[in-house]
Amino acid sequence: MPIAARIAPCLWFDDQAEAAANFYVGIFKNARITNTTHYGEAGKEIHGKPAGSVLTVSFELDGMEFTALNGGPIFKITEAVSFQVMCEDQAEIDYYWDRLGQGGDPAAQRCGWLKDQFGVSWQVVPRILPELLHGPDPAKRQRAMAALFTMQKLEIAKLKDA
């Protein structure tokens, strides 16, 4: 069994941890559910969840470990944290954009960012983006940045042509 990562994100959901984990594992090709735990009777006066309901779902996406927690409605996921999906080409950008954005908030789609149906924010970006935004030509950097600000889903050709 592989050694767990030292640092791994835990996503707090009201009661959608299992649905969210299954959604993400269904999108990423190198992904799997690794463990599911359930609430018991202990602590019911604190958590209020029925015994046997899902507490956590551990899963991996491309080797990165996540935990999804059904912690109740106390905390909400916000755009303050997002996950970057670095894509090799436009086909990958299109794939992840379409699937992660399915059922999400269209108003939250801008500059390569989207919010999925569970409220989790993702940045679907080409791996070449840092090179375009930090290259040696200041004018080209500015044109690439200006082009990026006009897009929802990022388009590599338009960024390169800027």
CATH of 1-75, one of 3.40.50.2300, 3.20.20.140, 3.40.640.10, 3.10.180.10: 3.10.180.10
3-state secondary structure 64-121: EEEEEEECCCCCCCCCCCEEEEEECCHHHHHHHHHHHCCCCCHHHCECCEEECCCCCE
Q: Enter the pTM of the model.
A: 0.91
| CA dihedral over 24, 42, 7, 77, signed as positive or negative | positive
**Spatial separation of the C-alpha atoms in residues 122 and 85, rounded to whole Å:** 7
Residue ranges of the chain with pLDDT lower than 50?
A: 1
**Spatial separation of the C-alpha atoms in residues 15 and 61, rounded to whole Å:** 21
- pLDDT above 90 coverage of the chain, percent: 90
- Pick the closest to residue 57 from 103, 16, 116, 14 (CA basis): 16
CATH match of 77-162 with 3.30.1330.60: no
Looking at the DSSP assignment, which residues form a beta bridge with residue 69?
12, 56
Per-residue pLDDT, 1: 45
